[in-house]
Chain A
Amino acid sequence: MKQFISFVIKEGKHILRDKRTMLILFGMPLVLMLIFGFAITTDVKNVRAIVVTSSMDHLTQQAVDRLAASEYFTIVQVVATPKDAERLIRGQKADMAIVFGADFASKRSGVQFIVDGADPNMAQQWTNYATSVMLNPDGGAVNTKMLYNPQMRSAYNFVPAIMGMLLMLVCAMMTSISIVREKEKGTMEVLLVSPVKPLMIIVAKAIPYLVLAFVILIIILLMARFVLGVPLVGSLFWIIVISVIYILLALSLGLLISNVAKTQLVALLLSAMVLLVPIVMLSGMLFPVESMPTVLQWISAIVPPRYYIEAMRKLMIMGVGIKEVAREVIILVGMVTLLMTLALVKFNKRLE
């Protein structure tokens, strides 16, 4: 037991003394939370619009005023022909143009939106907003309610994703690197030959990272709640339980990687290729899984963070009960059991 404790302390010192890595480990969640929470949004605002009209009659002026008054649009210029408007959009001086027909007032001709379609999502949203501002200023018959996220803050969507990514990186990447480092430096040989049981070496190595992951989890949750104002509506108990399952899963993956990798660089690259890229790309963190082609959807089905992120979104943001995330939890538990067994069976008590 004394050996075990001194082992854990030693690992802890390794982590604490590497100031630069520590800074990044704790700086990363902070910065990510701030960026996702405040900086990154797909809100429609500051849209630079051009008005194209040959005669600014009363009705046209009214429509233009309505646009200008809305919080979404700024009228940057009034030009005479659509050609001029197109040139301005191409030169990135404007995002869209509203072309009023010559006899707009007499209601015979209509309005055309000329929109920069480079970004499809934004192009559609701008059109939607412009339509509703011009035609239907008071909302009329529809009462729209945004469930769970009334201000439509992107933080709601991203907080669970950041948790999924960071916990995986800290546990899997850091654990695998720290094990491989000992292999590379030759200290692993001494540890293995010592009277300490190999399993204990691994558990002792994992514990500080487990603690670290937990601290990061708490930081993220606290920041989400008090800085970003994301309401943690779901059961905190289950959030933590599922996170622990996920952390264990990440540790097993790290252990598996450390078995394959011979050098720290390989461990690092493997973690990046096998973990980071699929997490960012295929877990539904940034890009919705349902928009992907079927083949990629199948691949994403074996990416563990997908289920974790999904479960966290439901639990934290939507506040559903544990029943509703049973599927995700069962899949995660299945994966943990499989990976943990594999990692322990595969763990080399000898070299080679």
Chain B
Amino acid sequence: MNAIEVNNVSKSYGKVKALDDVSFTVGQGEVFGLIGPDGAGKTSLYRILCTLLLPDSGTVAVDGFDSVRQMTDIRRRVGYMPGKFSLYEDLTVEENLAFFATLFGTTVEEGYDSIRAIYSQIERFKNRRAGALSGGMKQKLALSCALVHSPSVLFLDEPTTGVDPVSRKEFWDMLGALKDRGITIVASTPYLDEVCRCERVAFLDHGQVRGIGTPDEILTRFADIFNPPGIEHATGSEVHEENVIEVEHLVKAFGSFHAVDDISFTVKRGEIFGFLGANGAGKTTAMHMLTGLNQPTSGTGRVVGYDIRTEHEQIKKHIGYMSQKFSLYEDLTVAENIRLFGGIYGMNDADIARKTDEMLERLRFADHKNTLVASLPLGWKQKLAFSVSIFHEPGVVFLDEPTGGVDPATRRQFWELIYDAASRGITVFVTTHYMDEAEYCDRISIMVDGKIKAIGTPSELKQKFNQPDMDHVFTYLARQATRSSD
């Protein structure tokens, strides 16, 4: 018997067709991947499978039960981790876990084995409130909460967004263990290495199933989306000798806890500098000090020639910034956002208007000049946010996990923009959890436990640590971490 049978399911919200005649089956104990760009209908599909939404037409059976008539039976058998799943921030780590365990009729002790690999990383913070954890930590706790019970079918909607590569590997190892116990798993992910760990995947686009097959089949068939050709980038050619960022012995302490613990490095003009590290290694804190959001506890730093301690307002005039949390004002149109940020950096109306047209032309986005940002797909928002952050031609642009949650083709387009900016002499300082992106950087540093453990070009690092690719380098270094929080 199939664990999941989806027959001709359609679902619309008003005029928007979220799902259009979707059919597939998932066998008992199978690890099934759902992949597709943002807005493809994955979340709607999950909700229909979990009986949270009713399909407009078509039928769904989970574990042999009909999703419309036998709602209670399904809910008793499935586990679900929604994409925007968050925890109770005012409860402690342990209380969150215990609550979800009880909710699903089990206890933390009973379920401990199935979550050990990930939960043990955060267990020492079990008395800390979930709200005080870093983003990646929260995601790990959420994973633990979702896996603490053993349902017969598990639905995971992009469970690893924002999680560092090492923890992602551990997470998929855990899924493997669940599979061995006969649990059926349906998961979606934007990471290719994770797609490859599924037995079969369905590629969903614009509400339609474009193809179902083994990961290899799908990735080859839709290679233009999932496996775009690498970007040609002549390293070092445009890099100048002068230093744009100079950091010496920088420390940021919160009480006795050193989030950033004595780091020193330099970044040269026109360089693309990858700033890597596991969740909670201190990346975001370091970035906040460089951009003038936070004062360092000790140490010195200069960005575009200004002191980060005393001249942070000067720095702000000469940098661009784009964070994972925020792209643009959602209730303003594309043109209005550009106009606002242009104005903030002291450009005049005529310049803004001219550059806006130029920029939108270059992005092939002129048609959407007056579209509200809220109605754009995620990938577009990110490209736009980046373009806006370099609109005033800053000396350095800081990108904090700019490409979270989008498919490889969109990420590749994003990196073309980055190269384009770098070729114009803009230094790019970027954090990412995608190790293929790390390879695109001129130079990278890897932070572990608040310290920089390695710094150099990708090939230097691979050679030095004797690893085949950046993914392995990162895993090798991050596994040496002794603490896991910021």
Residues of A within 8 A of B (CB): 2-3, 6-7, 10, 13-14, 17-18, 185-187, 189-197, 349-352
Contacts and interface: CB of A to CB of B under 8 A. Distances in A.
B183 to A, nearest CB: 15
Contacts of A14: 88, 90-91
Contacts of A197: 72
Interface string B60-91: 00000000000110011011111111111011
B75 A13 contact: no
Nearest to A13: B91
Interface stretch (B51-59, B168-176, B314-322, B442-450): B51-59
B90 A350 contact: no
Given A13-B90, A186-B85, A6 B99 contact: yes
Contacts of B105: 3, 195
Given A3-B103, A189-B52, 13 more contacts: A2-B102, A6-B103, A18-B90, A187-B85, A189-B85, A190-B81, A190-B85, A193-B75, A193-B80, A195-B75, A350-B51, A351-B52, A352-B54
Nearest to B49: A193
B95 A352 contact: no
Interface in B96-119: 98-100, 102-105
A187 B88 CA distance: 8
Contacts of A10: 88, 91, 95, 99
Contact of A349 (B47, B71, B91): B71
Contacts of A349: 71
Contacts of B83: 186
A159 to B, nearest CB: 33
Contacts of B100: 190
Nearest to A351: B52
A193 B149 CA distance: 13
B50 A189 contact: yes
15 contacts: A3-B103, A6-B98, A7-B99, A10-B88, A17-B90, A17-B129, A185-B86, A186-B82, A186-B84, A186-B85, A189-B47, A190-B100, A190-B103, A193-B50, A350-B53
Given A193-B50, A349-B71, A352-B53, A6 B102 contact: yes
A14 B71 CA distance: 29
Dominant secondary structure at the A interface: helix
A27 B86 CA distance: 31
Contacts of A189: 47, 50, 52, 80, 82, 85
Contacts of A2: 102
A191 B103 contact: yes
A226 to B, nearest CB: 34
Contacts of B146: 190
A195 B76 contact: yes
B111 to A, nearest CB: 14
Contacts of B81: 190
B102 A3 contact: yes
Nearest to B43: A189
A3 B88 CA distance: 17
A191 B99 CA distance: 11
A195 B100 CA distance: 11
Shortest 4 CB-CB distances between A and B: which pairs? A6-B102, A186-B84, A17-B90, A193-B80
Contacts of A13: 90-91, 95
Contacts of A186: 82-86
A283 to B, nearest CB: 33
B82 A190 contact: yes
Contacts of B86: 185-187
B264 to A, nearest CB: 40
Contacts of B104: 194-195
A148 B233 CA distance: 90
Given A10-B99, A18-B90, A351-B47, A190 B84 contact: no
A13 B83 CA distance: 25
A10 B95 CA distance: 8
A194 B52 contact: no
B102 A350 contact: no
A193 B105 CA distance: 13
Contact of B78 (A3, A193, A196): A193
B83 to A, nearest CB: 8
A187 B53 CA distance: 16
Contacts of A195: 75-76, 103-105
Nearest to B155: A193
B294 to A, nearest CB: 25
A194 B86 CA distance: 15
Contacts of A196: 103
A185 B85 CA distance: 7
A17 B81 CA distance: 26
Question: Which of B52, B76, B85, B95 has the largest count of A CB atoms less than 10 A from its CB?
Answer: B52
A14 B75 CA distance: 26
Contacts of B72: 197
Which of A3, A18, A189, A192 has the most B CB atoms < 10 Å from its CB? A189
A191 B78 CA distance: 12
Contacts of A18: 90
A191 B129 CA distance: 20
A194 B71 contact: no
Name which of B75, B98, B129 has the most chain A CB atoms within 10 A of its CB: B75
Nearest to A9: B99
A18 B131 CA distance: 13
Contacts of A351: 47, 52-53
B274 to A, nearest CB: 31
A238 B53 CA distance: 45
A120 B454 CA distance: 81
A248 B459 CA distance: 68
Nearest to B83: A186
A189 B53 CA distance: 11
Interface in B32-59: 47, 50-54
Residue from A14, A186, A194, A197 with most neighbouring chain B CB atoms (10 Å): A194
Nearest to B107: A2
Nearest to A185: B86
Which of B51, B85, B102 has the most CB atoms of chain A within a 10 A radius of its CB? B102
Interface centre among A2, A190, A196 (most CB of B within 10 A): A190
A14 B88 CA distance: 8
A198 to B, nearest CB: 9
Contacts of B54: 350, 352
A350 B52 contact: yes
A350 B72 CA distance: 11
A3 B76 CA distance: 14
Nearest to B145: A190
B108 to A, nearest CB: 12
A284 B394 CA distance: 62
